[in-house]
Structure 1
């Protein structure tokens, strides 16, 4: 079985900016004691075992009780309601790590896979602003942090399943209420990231 997907991603989490999970290689305690995050993924081009995944959007929502590297994370998946059953099956295998690839490397840290929900998922970019919605489950947005030349700042060579280079952003809206994971903040003081992605397995 072979597969590949590529596209764009954005996320917000409950950590104060800048999230220590990235800079500590998952060893640090999150700023709120636990970690809650939602990763919005928009596939521009992809396929798995002959099933086209072009245009499919999904979200990975997770919670870690402490340092992410300690494991025992709860992870759930929201797949766009427009996706076919075959596409949902393919995305579930990829996002859960069952099909290998980047999420497969994270699988040993997952204590509970909370399942799959279906909702309208929409991941969009407008200049330096990213937004991702998943029905009533997730509503989040972030704004890129810009340098003095107006270019987005980024962290390079990080150990993150999406990309080794992540854009830095502040979360302007971060609401999750799904899989027993709840969070709601709009202070502009929380962490966000964005990046293109290209996965294969």
Structure 2
């Protein structure tokens, strides 16, 4: 059966702004040597195999020891604790690429799937900022880098190969704290990379 989900996405990572993975198609070394990222998704509408996924929030945690295109990545999944077992299963298949869709292209680069954890995931939108928490595992904020030609809009990167969307708002982290699946990071410098965008996936 086919599936569709849509909603809002945001992320921060440990790379300096702007992350070289985006403009080198994941072939550049991360600015810290390794890449640590929390890709947060809030599903506003959608379903898979008859399971309604509207309202489910999840975070894909990734760590790459070098350029992401080289693979050997560790990936773990955090799903909101309010999701049912059927919803967790559906999200796991989508987020891991097992069900096809945008994340399927990432699957060959993953050496270790570290499992699924349930936490109270919160996804907050406040104008041009995004804030996501997942219990004791993730607390991250990104703030848009504003453009000049159209006041009130961020600068965008377009025609990217990012799985969330081909058009991403540029942002910097307000703070980023990860402690999940052996992936740890803590930074509040405001100099690290972030993105946000709506997303629409299908498989």
Which range, TM-score by smaller chain? over 0.9
How do 1:79-158 residues align onto structure 2 when only pairs under 5 Å count?
A: 79-148=79-148, 149-158=151-160
Compute the displacement of 1:151 (Å): 1.6
TM-score by length of 1: 0.99
Number of the residue aligned with 1:2: 2
Between the aligned partners of 1:123 and 1:61, the Cα distance in structure 2 is 15
Alignment of 1:1-201 (within 5 A): 1-148=1-148, 149-201=151-203
Question: 1:150 Cα deviation (Å)?
Answer: 3.3
Q: Deviations over 1:37-66 (max 9, x none)?
A: 001100000100000001000000000000
Q: Extract unaligned runs of 5+ from structure 1.
A: none
Counterpart-to-counterpart distance in 1, 2:152 and 2:165? 22
Give the number of aligned pairs: 201
- Structure 2 distance, partners of 1:135, 1:176, is 11
Give per-residue Cα distances to partners, 1:78-129, cap 9 Å, x unaligned.
Answer: 0000000000000000001100100011101111111000000011110011
Q: What TM-score comes out, normalization by structure 2 length?
A: 0.98
Q: Aligned Cα RMSD in Å?
A: 0.6
Alpha-carbon shift at residue 167 of structure 1 (Å): 0.5
